[in-house]
Structure 1
Protein backbone atom coordinates (compact mmCIF):
# COMPACT_ATOMS: atom_id res chain seq x y z
CA UNK A 1 0.00 0.00 0.00
CA UNK A 2 2.93 2.33 0.68
CA UNK A 3 4.10 1.88 -2.91
CA UNK A 4 0.72 2.95 -4.27
CA UNK A 5 0.61 5.96 -1.93
CA UNK A 6 4.07 7.06 -3.04
CA UNK A 7 3.16 6.64 -6.72
CA UNK A 8 -0.03 8.69 -6.34
CA UNK A 9 1.90 11.38 -4.50
CA UNK A 10 4.66 11.37 -7.14
CA UNK A 11 2.20 11.73 -10.01
CA UNK A 12 0.28 14.48 -8.20
CA UNK A 13 3.41 16.45 -7.38
CA UNK A 14 4.71 16.04 -10.94
CA UNK A 15 1.45 17.45 -12.33
CA UNK A 16 1.49 20.29 -9.82
CA UNK A 17 5.08 21.13 -10.70
CA UNK A 18 4.34 21.24 -14.40
CA UNK A 19 1.16 23.31 -13.99
CA UNK A 20 2.69 25.77 -11.52
CA UNK A 21 5.87 26.14 -13.57
CA UNK A 22 3.95 26.68 -16.81
CA UNK A 23 1.60 29.19 -15.17
CA UNK A 24 4.41 31.28 -13.68
CA UNK A 25 6.34 31.16 -16.95
CA UNK A 26 3.24 32.27 -18.87
CA UNK A 27 2.58 35.09 -16.40
CA UNK A 28 6.13 36.27 -16.97
CA UNK A 29 5.36 36.42 -20.67
CA UNK A 30 2.18 38.42 -20.03
CA UNK A 31 4.09 40.95 -17.93
CA UNK A 32 6.63 41.26 -20.72
CA UNK A 33 4.04 41.57 -23.48
CA UNK A 34 2.05 44.30 -21.74
CA UNK A 35 4.98 46.00 -19.98
CA UNK A 36 3.12 45.71 -16.69
CA UNK A 37 4.60 47.36 -13.64
CA UNK A 38 4.05 45.79 -10.25
CA UNK A 39 4.26 48.47 -7.54
CA UNK A 40 6.56 50.56 -9.71
CA UNK A 41 9.14 47.84 -10.40
CA UNK A 42 10.80 47.39 -13.73
CA UNK A 43 8.64 45.10 -15.93
CA UNK A 44 11.66 43.24 -17.27
CA UNK A 45 12.80 42.45 -13.72
CA UNK A 46 9.34 41.15 -12.74
CA UNK A 47 9.14 39.12 -15.94
CA UNK A 48 12.54 37.55 -15.38
CA UNK A 49 11.78 36.82 -11.73
CA UNK A 50 8.53 35.04 -12.56
CA UNK A 51 10.09 32.99 -15.34
CA UNK A 52 13.08 31.96 -13.23
CA UNK A 53 10.82 31.25 -10.26
CA UNK A 54 8.56 29.09 -12.40
CA UNK A 55 11.46 27.11 -13.79
CA UNK A 56 13.09 26.61 -10.38
CA UNK A 57 9.86 25.61 -8.66
CA UNK A 58 8.89 23.23 -11.45
CA UNK A 59 12.35 21.66 -11.43
CA UNK A 60 12.22 21.21 -7.65
CA UNK A 61 8.80 19.55 -7.79
CA UNK A 62 9.79 17.30 -10.70
CA UNK A 63 12.90 16.15 -8.82
CA UNK A 64 10.84 15.58 -5.69
CA UNK A 65 8.34 13.52 -7.68
CA UNK A 66 11.19 11.48 -9.16
CA UNK A 67 12.59 10.76 -5.69
CA UNK A 68 9.17 9.64 -4.47
CA UNK A 69 8.68 7.46 -7.55
CA UNK A 70 12.11 5.90 -7.06
CA UNK A 71 11.27 5.15 -3.44
CA UNK A 72 8.03 3.55 -4.58
CA UNK A 73 9.84 1.46 -7.19
CA UNK A 74 12.29 0.20 -4.55
CA UNK A 75 9.49 -0.16 -1.96
CA UNK A 76 11.47 1.89 0.54
CA UNK A 77 10.52 4.67 2.90
CA UNK A 78 11.11 8.15 1.57
CA UNK A 79 10.95 9.94 4.91
CA UNK A 80 13.03 13.02 4.08
CA UNK A 81 11.60 13.45 0.58
CA UNK A 82 8.06 12.81 1.78
CA UNK A 83 8.50 15.32 4.60
CA UNK A 84 9.72 17.98 2.14
CA UNK A 85 6.85 17.11 -0.19
CA UNK A 86 4.37 17.45 2.68
CA UNK A 87 5.58 20.97 3.43
CA UNK A 88 5.22 21.98 -0.22
CA UNK A 89 1.89 20.21 -0.46
CA UNK A 90 0.48 22.04 2.57
CA UNK A 91 1.20 25.36 0.87
CA UNK A 92 -0.32 24.14 -2.42
CA UNK A 93 -3.46 22.88 -0.64
CA UNK A 94 -3.99 26.26 1.02
CA UNK A 95 -3.55 28.12 -2.27
CA UNK A 96 -5.80 25.67 -4.09
CA UNK A 97 -8.44 25.93 -1.40
CA UNK A 98 -8.43 29.71 -1.52
CA UNK A 99 -8.15 30.40 -5.20
CA UNK A 100 -8.53 27.50 -7.59
CA UNK A 101 -11.77 25.74 -6.77
CA UNK A 102 -12.98 22.52 -5.22
CA UNK A 103 -11.70 20.11 -7.87
CA UNK A 104 -8.11 21.30 -7.52
CA UNK A 105 -8.47 21.43 -3.74
CA UNK A 106 -9.71 17.82 -3.65
CA UNK A 107 -6.84 16.65 -5.88
CA UNK A 108 -4.20 18.34 -3.79
CA UNK A 109 -5.81 17.02 -0.62
CA UNK A 110 -5.57 13.45 -1.99
CA UNK A 111 -1.86 13.96 -2.65
CA UNK A 112 -1.42 15.35 0.86
CA UNK A 113 -3.22 12.34 2.33
CA UNK A 114 -1.07 9.85 0.43
CA UNK A 115 2.07 11.64 1.60
CA UNK A 116 0.84 11.51 5.18
CA UNK A 117 0.17 7.80 4.83
CA UNK A 118 3.63 7.23 3.37
CA UNK A 119 5.20 9.08 6.30
CA UNK A 120 3.21 7.25 8.96
CA UNK A 121 3.48 3.75 7.46
CA UNK A 122 5.89 1.88 9.70
CA UNK A 123 5.52 -1.53 8.09
CA UNK A 124 8.79 -3.14 7.11
CA UNK A 125 7.12 -5.64 4.81
CA UNK A 126 7.91 -5.48 1.10
CA UNK A 127 5.06 -4.75 -1.24
CA UNK A 128 3.05 -7.71 -2.49
CA UNK A 129 2.77 -7.97 -6.24
Structure 2
Protein backbone atom coordinates (compact mmCIF):
# COMPACT_ATOMS: atom_id res chain seq x y z
CA UNK A 1 0.00 0.00 0.00
CA UNK A 2 2.84 2.41 0.78
CA UNK A 3 4.49 1.58 -2.54
CA UNK A 4 1.55 3.01 -4.50
CA UNK A 5 1.79 6.37 -2.83
CA UNK A 6 2.14 7.95 0.54
CA UNK A 7 -1.24 9.71 0.17
CA UNK A 8 -3.22 6.49 -0.30
CA UNK A 9 -3.30 5.45 3.39
CA UNK A 10 -4.32 8.97 4.40
CA UNK A 11 -7.08 9.01 1.78
CA UNK A 12 -8.36 5.63 2.91
CA UNK A 13 -8.32 6.78 6.53
CA UNK A 14 -10.27 9.92 5.57
CA UNK A 15 -12.78 7.80 3.65
CA UNK A 16 -13.42 5.63 6.71
CA UNK A 17 -14.07 8.77 8.77
CA UNK A 18 -16.57 10.02 6.16
CA UNK A 19 -18.34 6.65 6.14
CA UNK A 20 -18.43 6.65 9.93
CA UNK A 21 -19.88 10.17 9.95
CA UNK A 22 -22.58 9.12 7.48
CA UNK A 23 -23.50 6.14 9.64
CA UNK A 24 -23.67 8.29 12.77
CA UNK A 25 -25.73 10.93 10.92
CA UNK A 26 -28.40 8.31 10.21
CA UNK A 27 -28.96 7.63 13.92
CA UNK A 28 -32.32 8.96 15.01
CA UNK A 29 -32.74 11.29 17.94
CA UNK A 30 -35.66 11.25 20.33
CA UNK A 31 -35.77 14.31 22.50
CA UNK A 32 -36.91 13.91 26.08
CA UNK A 33 -39.86 16.00 27.21
CA UNK A 34 -38.80 19.41 28.46
CA UNK A 35 -40.19 18.81 31.95
CA UNK A 36 -37.88 15.84 32.57
CA UNK A 37 -34.68 17.36 31.23
CA UNK A 38 -32.13 18.39 33.76
CA UNK A 39 -28.88 20.16 33.14
CA UNK A 40 -25.83 18.07 33.99
CA UNK A 41 -22.12 18.45 33.52
CA UNK A 42 -19.80 16.00 31.84
CA UNK A 43 -18.11 15.37 35.18
CA UNK A 44 -21.43 14.45 36.78
CA UNK A 45 -22.31 12.05 33.96
CA UNK A 46 -18.88 10.37 34.05
CA UNK A 47 -19.14 9.99 37.83
CA UNK A 48 -22.63 8.49 37.45
CA UNK A 49 -21.36 6.04 34.81
CA UNK A 50 -18.40 4.98 36.94
CA UNK A 51 -20.67 4.51 39.94
CA UNK A 52 -22.97 2.31 37.85
CA UNK A 53 -19.97 0.32 36.61
CA UNK A 54 -18.71 -0.16 40.16
CA UNK A 55 -22.09 -1.60 41.25
CA UNK A 56 -22.13 -4.21 38.43
CA UNK A 57 -19.38 -6.77 39.00
CA UNK A 58 -19.76 -8.52 35.64
CA UNK A 59 -19.49 -5.31 33.65
CA UNK A 60 -16.62 -4.15 35.87
CA UNK A 61 -14.69 -7.35 35.12
CA UNK A 62 -15.44 -7.09 31.40
CA UNK A 63 -14.28 -3.46 31.36
CA UNK A 64 -11.03 -4.35 33.11
CA UNK A 65 -10.37 -7.21 30.69
CA UNK A 66 -11.02 -5.03 27.65
CA UNK A 67 -8.78 -2.30 29.07
CA UNK A 68 -5.90 -4.72 29.58
CA UNK A 69 -6.47 -6.31 26.17
CA UNK A 70 -6.42 -2.93 24.42
CA UNK A 71 -3.29 -1.80 26.25
CA UNK A 72 -1.40 -4.98 25.40
CA UNK A 73 -2.65 -4.88 21.81
CA UNK A 74 -1.48 -1.32 21.31
CA UNK A 75 1.81 -2.19 23.00
CA UNK A 76 2.38 -5.08 20.62
CA UNK A 77 1.37 -3.07 17.59
CA UNK A 78 3.72 -0.24 18.53
CA UNK A 79 6.79 -2.44 18.18
CA UNK A 80 5.84 -3.96 14.82
CA UNK A 81 7.82 -1.46 12.75
CA UNK A 82 11.01 -2.18 14.62
CA UNK A 83 10.39 -5.93 14.57
CA UNK A 84 9.67 -5.93 10.85
CA UNK A 85 12.68 -3.79 9.98
CA UNK A 86 15.33 -5.22 12.31
CA UNK A 87 14.36 -8.87 12.84
CA UNK A 88 12.52 -9.72 9.62
CA UNK A 89 14.64 -7.43 7.45
CA UNK A 90 11.62 -5.98 5.65
CA UNK A 91 11.77 -2.81 3.57
CA UNK A 92 9.10 -0.11 3.72
CA UNK A 93 7.16 -1.98 1.03
CA UNK A 94 7.53 -5.22 2.97
CA UNK A 95 6.16 -3.60 6.10
CA UNK A 96 3.28 -2.18 4.06
CA UNK A 97 2.40 -5.75 3.09
CA UNK A 98 3.10 -7.18 6.56
CA UNK A 99 0.08 -5.56 8.25
CA UNK A 100 -2.61 -6.75 5.80
CA UNK A 101 -1.00 -10.20 5.75
CA UNK A 102 -1.33 -10.35 9.52
CA UNK A 103 -5.00 -9.35 9.21
CA UNK A 104 -5.60 -12.07 6.62
CA UNK A 105 -3.93 -14.68 8.85
CA UNK A 106 -6.12 -13.56 11.75
CA UNK A 107 -9.24 -13.97 9.59
CA UNK A 108 -8.15 -17.48 8.54
CA UNK A 109 -7.47 -18.41 12.17
CA UNK A 110 -10.90 -17.11 13.21
CA UNK A 111 -12.69 -19.03 10.47
CA UNK A 112 -10.73 -22.17 11.32
CA UNK A 113 -11.65 -21.86 14.98
CA UNK A 114 -15.33 -21.28 14.20
CA UNK A 115 -15.37 -24.32 11.90
CA UNK A 116 -13.61 -26.50 14.46
CA UNK A 117 -15.99 -25.36 17.21
CA UNK A 118 -19.05 -26.03 15.04
CA UNK A 119 -17.78 -29.49 14.13
CA UNK A 120 -16.93 -30.28 17.73
CA UNK A 121 -20.39 -29.35 18.97
CA UNK A 122 -22.09 -31.17 16.08
CA UNK A 123 -20.27 -34.46 16.77
CA UNK A 124 -21.71 -36.82 19.41
CA UNK A 125 -19.75 -37.29 22.59
CA UNK A 126 -17.13 -40.01 22.18
CA UNK A 127 -16.51 -40.46 25.90
TM-score, with structure 1 as normaliser: 0.29
Which is helix-richer, 1 or 2? Answer: 1
